[in-house]
Chains A and B, each alone.
Chain A
Amino acid sequence: MFLETKNLSYQVNKRRFVKRSSIEILKSVSLQINRGQSMTIIGPNGAGKTTLLKSLLHLLPDKDTFGEVLINGEPISNISKRELGKLISYVPQRPVLPSRMLLADYVLLGRMAHIPPFLNETKQDLDIVYDALEKTSMVWAKERMLGSLSGGELQLAAIARSLATRAPLLLLDEPTASLDLRHCYELCDLIYSLPKEGIAVIATMHDLALAARFGDELLLMSQGEVCKRGTASQVLTAENIQSYYKISVRTEVSSKGITILPN
Chain B
Amino acid sequence: MLAIACLLASLLLGVLVGPTNLNPFRVLTEIIDWVLPFSIDSGLSNIESSIVIDIRLPRVIMALLVGAMLALSGSAYQGVFRNPLAEPYLLGVAAGAGLGATIAIITNLGESKWSLPIFAFVGGFVASAISYFVGSAGKTNGRLDNTVSLILAGVSISSFFTAIQVYLQQAHVDTLREVYSWVLGRFSVQGFEEILIVLPYFFVTSFVILLYRRVLSAFEVGEEEAYSLGVDVRTSRLIVLLAASISASVAVAFTGLIGFVGIIIPHLVRLLFSNSYRVILPLSMILGASFLVLADLLARTAVSPGELPIGVVTAFVGAPFFVFVLYRARTA
Contact = CB atoms under 8 A, between A and B. Distances in A.
B214 A112 contact: yes
B274 to A, nearest CB: 9
Contacts of A145: 275
Interface in A89-113: 89-90, 92, 95-98, 100-102, 105-106, 109-110, 112-113
Interface in B207-239: 211, 214, 217-218, 220-222, 224-225, 227-232
A89 B228 contact: yes
A128 B229 CA distance: 15
B270 interface: yes
Given A105-B276, A109-B218, A112-B218, A85 B225 contact: no
Interface in B243-274: 270
Interface centre among B139, B217, B221, B224 (most CB of A within 10 A): B221
A261 interface: no
Contact of A61 (B139, B218, B221, B231): B139
A105 B221 contact: no
Interface string A162-176: 000100000000000
A221 B102 CA distance: 62
Contact of A95 (B225, B275, B276): B225
Contact of A101 (B220, B222, B225, B227): B220
Contact of A82 (B224, B232, B270, B275): B232
A88 interface: yes
Contacts of B228: 57, 59, 85, 88-90
A96 B227 CA distance: 13
A99 B275 CA distance: 10
A101 B229 contact: no
Interface in A66-90: 81-86, 88-90
A140 interface: no
Contacts of A82: 230, 232
Interface of B: 139, 211, 214, 217-218, 220-222, 224-225, 227-232, 270, 275-276
Interface of A: 57, 59, 61, 81-86, 88-90, 92, 95-98, 100-102, 105-106, 109-110, 112-113, 115, 117-118, 145, 165
15 contacts: A59-B228, A81-B227, A83-B230, A85-B231, A96-B222, A98-B221, A100-B275, A101-B217, A101-B275, A109-B217, A109-B221, A112-B229, A113-B230, A115-B214, A118-B211
